[in-house]
Structure 1
Amino acid sequence: MKLVSWNVNGIRACVKKGFLDYFHSIDADIFCLQETKLQEGQISLDLKGYHQYWNYALRKGYSGTAVFTKKKPLTVSYGFNQDHMEPEGRIITCEYDSFYLVNVYTPNSKRDLSRIKERLGWEDALRDYLADLNLHKPVILCGDLNVAHTEIDLKNDKSNRGNSGFTDEERGKMGLLLKEGFVDSFRYLYPEKDDAFSWWSYMSKVRERNIGWRIDYFIVSEQLSPSIEKAEIHSDIHGSDHCPVYLELE
């Protein structure tokens, strides 16, 4: 099974930059998007053979997620539960016969950390949600999680210590999630690989010099880890300030 996750930073713009070429060439079984930045009816994608599920933010041109899947899920839900209002379109859960797929776009704590309290609350709610799902079926979590977990997950770790996406608090929440019985698929295969990044600033020459962060993940239940065949970062694919990340399970 082949899965792709990509923060497209606006799907309409990304389509104009070659999104469909990559989409068709990779031929994923499940393809997840974050930061779609649109409302219903603003784009029509002809993706033959795929079921499409979109979670739109109420705010126009902001956030949003989508899942394109060859196999129709048993159920699809939005938010953490039926009672949870999710106005920013940040989570889609697809239930299949043998696993749950959870596509997430984690809130950024903002440059001045003004949103960090809300962000940490989100982390706790997500961890509880995933742990509950994991009691029933294995979970595949993917998306832009807006955190570089360890020092080798970003280029300039010392100068970024304490900045949004690399605070001790955000990194600690990632650690707590992994302790709940989950595995970072990329680090499972490549525990010490550095200079492997999925996001780069739009500042001049930053991507060319590979001054980036790894903040896009596939995290899976521990019982799925022996099935991990490939975990890749497709940094040669442009169209967004993020690149796609890829997971292949046996």
Structure 2
Amino acid sequence: MKLVSWNVNGLRACVNKGFNDYFKETGADIFCIQETKLQEGQISLELDEEYNQYWNHALKKGYSGTAVFTKIKPLSVRYGLEEDHEEEGRVITLEFDTFYLVNVYTPNARRDLSRLDFRLEWEDRFRSYLLDLDTRKPVIICGDLNVAHQEIDLKNPKSNRNNSGFTLEERDKMTQLLDAGFIDSFRHFSPDTTDAYTWWSYMPKVRERNVGWRIDYFLVSARLASSLIDAGIDCEVMGSDHCPVVLNITE
């Protein structure tokens, strides 16, 4: 089974930059996107009929939003954490026969860290939600988690200490999640790989020089470790300031 996750940073713009070509090329069984930045009815994707589409739009126009396109029809779908259709459209959970899939766009703490407290409280709720799911079935989490976990996960760790996405508090929340029984699938296969990033600033030549951060992930319940085939980063794919991440797993 092939799963793909991509923060498209505006789906309408990404469609104009090759999204459909990449989508068809991957032939993914499940394709998740974050930061759709659109409302219901603002786009009609030309996807194969075999894909079921699930959308969680933010109430605020042009902001956040997630979607999942899946060949495998889920048993159930849930939007949000505590309640359906939370205002920022950040989470979609699909239940399948043998696992849950959680597509997430984690809140950003903002450059001035004005949303850090909210972010940390959200992380605690999210972890509790995942652990509750994990008592019933293994969980696969994918999306933009808005944190570079370790120094190896960004180009310039020293100059970014205490910056949004690399504060000690945010990194500790990721550590707590992994310690609670989840695996970072990319690091599972590539524990020492450097210069492997999924996001680059739009500043001139930053992506060209690969000055990036790895903030997009596939995390899986630890008991799925033996089912993992490989995990990768399609860093050559353009169309967004993020690139897609990929997970292959036995069905």
Task: Quickly name the TM-score band, shorter chain normalised.
Answer: over 0.9
Matches for 1:102-121 after TM superposition, within 5 Å: 102-121=102-121
How many residue pairs get aligned? The number is: 249
Deviation of the 1:85 alpha carbon: 6.0
Deviation of the 1:81 alpha carbon: 3.0
Deviation of the 1:228 alpha carbon: 1.2
Report the TM-score when normalising by structure 1.
Answer: 0.98
CA deviation map 1:16-64 (0-9, x unaligned): 0000000000000000000000000000112111000000000000000
1:81 matched to which residue of 2? 82
Distance 1:87 1:109 in 2: 17
Distance 1:111 1:225 in 2: 35
CA deviation map 1:67-87 (0-9, x unaligned): 0000110000001133x6610
Distance 1:72 1:45 in 2: 18
CA deviation map 1:99-156 (0-9, x unaligned): 0000000000000000000000110001000000000000000000000000000000
One-letter identity of the residue aligned with 1:123:
E
2:160 matched to which residue of 1? 160
Structure 2 residue matching 1:238: 3-state secondary structure: coil
Distance 1:146 1:68 in 2: 22
1:127 matched to which residue of 2? 127
Is the deviation greater in 13-22 or in 44-53? 44-53
**1:63 is aligned to 2:60:** no
**1:210 is aligned to 2:210:** yes
Deviation of the 1:224 alpha carbon: 0.6
Distance 2:160 2:61 in 1: 31
2:237 matched to which residue of 1? 237
**1:90 is aligned to 2:90:** yes
Structure 1 residue matching 2:103: 3-state secondary structure: strand
Distance 2:247 2:117 in 1: 31
One-letter identity of the residue aligned with 2:158:
K
1:176 matched to which residue of 2? 176
One-letter identity of the residue aligned with 1:10:
G
Structure 1 segments (4+ residues) deviating >2 Å: none
Distance 2:69 2:212 in 1: 27
One-letter identity of the residue aligned with 1:96:
F
1:52 matched to which residue of 2? 53
Structure 1 residue matching 2:22: 3-state secondary structure: helix
One-letter identity of the residue aligned with 1:132:
D
Distance 1:133 1:32 in 2: 19
Distance 1:221 1:8 in 2: 25
CA deviation map 1:199-218 (0-9, x unaligned): 00000000000000000000
Identity %: 68
Distance 1:52 1:181 in 2: 29
**1:29 is aligned to 2:36:** no
Structure 1 residue matching 2:174: 3-state secondary structure: helix
Distance 2:139 2:87 in 1: 24
Distance 1:206 1:225 in 2: 34
2:247 matched to which residue of 1? 247
CA deviation map 1:172-199 (0-9, x unaligned): 0000000111000000001111100000
Is the deviation greater in 72-81 or in 56-65? 72-81
1:188 matched to which residue of 2? 188
Structure 2 residue matching 1:102: 3-state secondary structure: strand
Structure 1 residue matching 2:147: 3-state secondary structure: coil
Is the deviation greater in 111-120 or in 41-50? 41-50
One-letter identity of the residue aligned with 1:70:
K
Structure 2 residue matching 1:229: 3-state secondary structure: strand
Distance 2:79 2:10 in 1: 20
Structure 1 residue matching 2:217: 3-state secondary structure: strand
